[in-house]
């Protein structure tokens, strides 16, 4: 077999085969080539290690976490509203009004400024005249009853990684700052940025300071806090599930889409942002009302609580 001179085939035992000479040659040549390639395989090049993050000891860095459906399953206002309703905090006329406003919002499917103002003002009227300390005390109880078991372990681990690296970790949410502060404290985080309801002498006036901390307002809050804390935003990380938080995510050097909605998922892929999804299903149900429907008031989850109670009857 003249062409067999190209290979040293002495190691292959000769015996009769029902194959043609050419197929025998092809098979033996392939076997020899396989042996040589396995013996002479070049060393596997290791992919460059991903830079350590978060960076231990980087005092110019911090992490900012959205709350609803990022740190905790569902909306904080929804869970808080459930607790307040259970404690007979609202009159039935308030519940009826909230129920109608919630239905209107769902049917309209848009954030109409005038309607949002009506919802916000109605919710604020419920806390007007109540003491901040009273709502804080109730909030502690409600956290234990409805919120503690709804924290996503995966997101909690991300926050802990920043804490372990010596960095500060802040919640950034449209929920009332009192509610957000309770949750941050229970999770061992640094603190919280949230919607501020005006109070005088420790009593709610029924007005907001500015507007709900939603969308662009979150980005402004992060920017202001970073300036006050001496942070370098290019070193910081931000985490959210909602496209409404793209302004905040775009501020930092390390944006993460956590349990993202479809718009944020698409944007994150286009921008090369990292994604994490801790839900059991791609379209996991989001418990609670849309953020815009109840932001800005300590009792903003009341409308959802009404709907829940009525369905149970």
| Residue positions annotated with a catalytic role | 66, 68
Cβ(284)–Cβ(269) below 8 Å:
no
CA angle centred on 14, ends 11 and 18, rounded to 5°: 135
CA distance 132 to 46: 57
DSSP state, residue 183: H
N- to C-terminal Cα separation, the chain: 90
Non-local (6+) Cβ contacts of 73 within 8 A are: 150, 151, 152, 287
Q: What 3-state class would DSSP assign to 285?
A: coil
Q: Which helix (H) or strand (E) holds 293?
A: helix 291-294
254: closest CA among 171, 164, 173, 158?
A: 158
Residue 216 contacts residue 247 (beta carbons within 8 Å): yes
Question: Do the Cβ atoms of 164 and 143 come closer than 8 Å?
Answer: no
Q: Is 196 exposed, middle or buried (0-12, 13-18, 19+ CB in 10 A)?
A: middle
| Cα-based distances in Å from 105 to 74, 92, 102, 222 | 18, 20, 5, 29
Reduced to 3 states (helix: H, G, I; strand: E, B; else coil), residue 258 is strand
Neighbours of 164 (CB within 10 A): 10
Rg (CA), the chain: 29
Tell me which H or E stretch contains 237.
Answer: strand 237-240
């Amino acid at each position: 077999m003249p062409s067999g001179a190209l290979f040293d085939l002495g190691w292959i035992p000769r015996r009769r085969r029902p194959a043609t000479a050419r197929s025998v040659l092809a098979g033996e040549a392939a076997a020899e080539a396989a042996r040589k390639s396995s013996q002479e395989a070049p060393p596997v090049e290791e992919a460059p290690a991903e830079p350590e993050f978060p960076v231990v000891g980087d005092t110019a860095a911090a992490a900012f976490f959205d709350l609803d459906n990022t740190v905790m399953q569902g909306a904080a206002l929804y869970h808080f509203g459930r607790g307040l309703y259970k404690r007979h905090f609202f009159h039935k006329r308030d519940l009826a009004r909230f129920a109608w406003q919630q239905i209107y919002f769902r049917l309209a499917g848009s954030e109409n400024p005038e309607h949002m103002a009506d919802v916000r003002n109605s919710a604020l009227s419920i806390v007007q005249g109540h003491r901040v300390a009273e709502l804080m005390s109730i909030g502690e109880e409600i956290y234990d009853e409805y919120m503690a078991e709804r924290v996503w372990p995966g997101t909690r681990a991300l926050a802990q990684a920043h804490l372990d690296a010596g960095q500060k970790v802040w919640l950034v949410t449209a929920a009332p700052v009192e509610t957000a502060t309770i949750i941050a404290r229970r999770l061992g985080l640094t603190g919280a940025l949230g919607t501020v309801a005006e109070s005088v002498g420790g009593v709610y006036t029924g007005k907001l300071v500015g507007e709900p901390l939603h969308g662009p307002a979150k980005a402004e809050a992060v920017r202001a806090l970073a300036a006050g804390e001496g942070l370098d935003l290019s070193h910081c990380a931000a985490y959210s599930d909602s496209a409404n938080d793209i302004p905040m995510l775009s501020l930092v050097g390390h944006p993460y889409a956590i349990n993202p909605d479809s718009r944020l998922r698409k944007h994150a892929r286009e921008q090369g942002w990292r994604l994490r999804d801790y839900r059991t299903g791609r379209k996991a149900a989001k418990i609670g009302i849309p953020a815009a429907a109840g932001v800005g008031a300590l009792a903003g989850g009341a409308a959802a609580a009404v709907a829940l109670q009525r369905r149970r009857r």
